[in-house]
Structure 1
Amino acid sequence: MTAPALAPFAVRYRSDDAPRLLDDPGTLALIGFGAGAATSADPRALRVPLAPLQDAVPHEQWVVDAAVSYGRDGAVRWAAGGGWLYAAIELDEAAHGGAEAAAEYAYRRLGAFTAARPERHVQRIWNYLGAINAGEGDDEHYRRFCSGRARGMAPYFAAYPAATAIGHGGAPGLLQVYWLAATAPGVAVENPRQVSAWRYPRQYGPTAPTFARAERLPGETGLAISGTAAVVGHATRHAGDVLAQLDETLANLDALQAAAGLASGFDAASPLKVYVREPRDARAIAARLRARLAPEVPRLLLQGDICRRDLLVEIDGWRFESGERGAAVKGVGSRE
């Protein structure tokens, strides 16, 4: 039986107040960043403790051209509409036995919830955890998280979707996981310049990271881009040089788009998040991005720790094939 056609989906950065954005028809999710982001009991709203490194404190708004329903299922908050699903969980790692056990619990809980829904195909995942680089060797927080994540994913994932994992400076032990799913599967995309993450050698931990470099979204919607950094093969390049790392990251984004069958470049419908380890580097990074990207490309700079201690910058985001998808929902709830 063929699944119904997916409604148009878009992601936008908006500086409006959260209540106004949540009132917009078609709002599937609203992600706020930093202490200045408003809290809300609405299940679609999530505040991520990554400090913006720019004057405005925008929200990331997911919009579908369809009616949206939403609610809670125990610890899971969710919203669905037009064949798309937002599902999120946040928890205290200590209350679930530590980083590894908490990651396994979060993925099993989200996985069971999503598997029971028509929007059961996970496209894109975000993971935000505190003190991501704390600990030495295999006791590093990120390595523990990767082991728990892999066990939690095992019952529900036949293939790995796109993903990001970034360290935040919020409450110790706070783990946030949220994802985008759909009624139809996407297609994983790998970067020919990089070893697939799940094939990393043992030097990066007992359990390789379980994600694809990007995901072609179903319905020819576009490309969901995983956290991308200055990694070639499996090795970090340009340690200590943030601008060289940024240039290498942009080269990886070009190669990833080519692997997905897309021409290189981003436009106004394709927002990017730029995670910056050291706030002092933000100005130089912003200047380089102004020189390398078209001025209309939305970008949000956030202070966040990258999963490897020698990585200084990482970029994730969306590459829609044209502005048509964004235009299709541009008028939905617009208060410009």
Structure 2
Amino acid sequence: MSTVSPFTGEGSHVLGASLLGRSLPASRPDWPVQRLEAPLLGAGPGVLHETWVTDGPTLEGHTEGIHWRRSGDVLFGQIDLAEPLADSASPASAQPVLQVLSEQAYARLFRLLDAQGLPHLWRVWNYMADITGQSGELERYRLFNLGRGSAFVQSARGVEGQVPAACAIGLAGGPLSIAFLAGATPVLPVENPRQVSAYHYPADYGPRSPTFSRAALVYPPGQELLFISGTASIVGHRSVHPGDVRAQSQEAMDNIAAVVAEANRHARGGAFTLPALNYRVYIRHAADHAAVQAVLAQRIGAAPLVCLQADICRQELLMEVEAMGAQAA
């Protein structure tokens, strides 16, 4: 078992979890869990259970399809929305199904957070099938961005600046799956000086730019958490090193290092370092795993690392890495 646990302590309780791997068990735990049916790469167990735990008591609920738990002013939630077998236009809106589902999921999410008095979204994990496939005139990832952005606007939340850290990753199949952490305090967004902010991407990347920050510092009681969004081989707004997974891995880690340096300009609890973070890496082709891991080992040493075979949101990108760190505030 691998445990990502910024809320550790004696008598701790599970807030939520992720279950990763092939042939996931049919039984579900009592807490919210995001199930990611995708091959884990490298030696180790075939199934991995990552958990968020808390020292305090938890309150649990099911709201509009969201399974959630909160402890104090921190909430973890998860929702799956199944798509039809064939992506088609919604009869009610003439919009593609993934766009409609994305807007619905985020609208439900924001209603829950407002009702719980925890309005600030910290970190979101988005997974969908066939992320770079076409649906009508647009790629599915661009449809997802349309739906997500619309929900932000309709809930009177901004689509740039103070937005959560996030990833959007493609799996071989399954529902639109969204897990999230939220709280009573706003995020301190962190951008990467090497990259254009995602919410300022030009129209070449779709009719609505992605709604996320490159990283976010957040402050549950007594702690400082750093969430680094999915990060790939992008400089400015352009993909670089097509076809070269080693160079892409180096570039992605250069971006991670730049984000950490920028976060450390604002950190209250001391400097974050690359070897002290936890990493999840998405690799398009399983055969590239050894090359990616070798590059990362040079940069992060023996830091906790989970590698998952999955698709990235641009066809030319071969890998993406995200990270998380925690320290006393």
TM-score range, shorter chain: 0.7 to 0.9
Greater RCO, CA 8 A, separation 6+: 1
Alpha-carbon distance in 1 for matches of 2:238, 2:142: 16
Q: Deviations over 1:76-126 (max 9, x none)?
A: 110111321011110113399311111111110111111111222110111
**What is the RMSD computed on CA atoms of the aligned residues?**
2.2
* Equivalent AA in structure 2 for residue 130 of structure 1: A
Alpha-carbon distance in 1 for matches of 2:249, 2:34: 28
Cα shift at 1:282: 0.7
TM-score, normalised with respect to structure 1: 0.84
Equivalent residues of 2:34, 2:177 under 8 A apart: no
Alignment partner for residue 280 of structure 1, among 257, 266, 287? 287
Q: Deviations over 1:281-305 (max 9, x none)?
A: 011112222222121x111000110
Cα shift at 1:138: 4.5
Equivalent residues of 1:266, 1:319 under 8 A apart: no
- Which runs of 5 or more structure 2 residues have no equivalent in the other structure? 5-10, 91-96
The percent identity for this pair of structures is: 36
Alignment partner for residue 170 of structure 2, among 167, 170, 173? 167
Equivalent residues of 2:281, 2:308 under 8 A apart: yes
Alignment of 1:135-146 (within 5 A): 135=134, 138-146=137-145
State the partner residue of 2:217.
Answer: 216
State the partner residue of 2:19.
Answer: 32
Cα shift at 1:271: 1.2
User: Helix, strand or coil for the counterpart of 1:245?
Assistant: helix
4+ residue segments displaced more than 4 Å: none
Q: Deviations over 1:265-317 (max 9, x none)?
A: 2345x31100001111011112222222121x111000110000011010112
Cα shift at 1:13: 2.2
Q: Could you tell which deviates more after superposition, 233-242 or 218-227?
A: 218-227
State the partner residue of 1:329.
Answer: none
TM-score, normalised with respect to structure 2: 0.85
Alpha-carbon distance in 2 for matches of 1:315, 1:137: 30
State the partner residue of 1:81.
Answer: 71
Alpha-carbon distance in 2 for matches of 1:125, 1:138: 27
Alignment of 1:262-277 (within 5 A): 263=271, 265-267=273-275, 270-277=277-284
Alpha-carbon distance in 1 for matches of 2:298, 2:144: 36
Alpha-carbon distance in 1 for matches of 2:191, 2:137: 26
1:245–1:212 Cα change, 3 Å: same
Q: Could you tell which deviates more after superposition, 240-249 or 212-221?
A: 212-221
* Equivalent AA in structure 2 for residue 298 of structure 1: P
Instruction: Tell me whether 1:44 sits opposite 2:50 in the alignment.
Output: no
Alpha-carbon distance in 1 for matches of 2:295, 2:305: 12
Equivalent residues of 1:138, 1:205 under 8 A apart: no
1:80–1:264 Cα change, 3 Å: closer
Alpha-carbon distance in 2 for matches of 1:245, 1:136: 28
Alpha-carbon distance in 2 for matches of 1:106, 1:14: 27
Equivalent residues of 2:145, 2:208 under 8 A apart: yes
Equivalent residues of 2:15, 2:31 under 8 A apart: no
Alignment of 1:1-336 (within 5 A): 13-14=2-3, 25-38=12-25, 39-40=27-28, 42-54=30-42, 55-56=44-45, 57-94=47-84, 97=90, 98-135=97-134, 138-156=137-155, 157-158=157-158, 159-171=162-174, 174-219=175-220, 220-261=223-264, 263=271, 265-267=273-275, 270-295=277-302, 297-321=303-327
Alpha-carbon distance in 1 for matches of 2:300, 2:260: 15
* Equivalent AA in structure 2 for residue 304 of structure 1: A
State the partner residue of 1:3.
Answer: none
Q: Deviations over 1:157-180 (max 9, x none)?
A: 233111100001133xx1001110
* Equivalent AA in structure 1 for residue 259 of structure 2: L
User: Helix, strand or coil for the counterpart of 1:260?
Assistant: helix
Cα shift at 1:139: 1.5
State the partner residue of 1:332.
Answer: none
User: Helix, strand or coil for the counterpart of 1:133?
Assistant: coil
Q: Deviations over 1:221-243 (max 9, x none)?
A: 12111000111100001011001
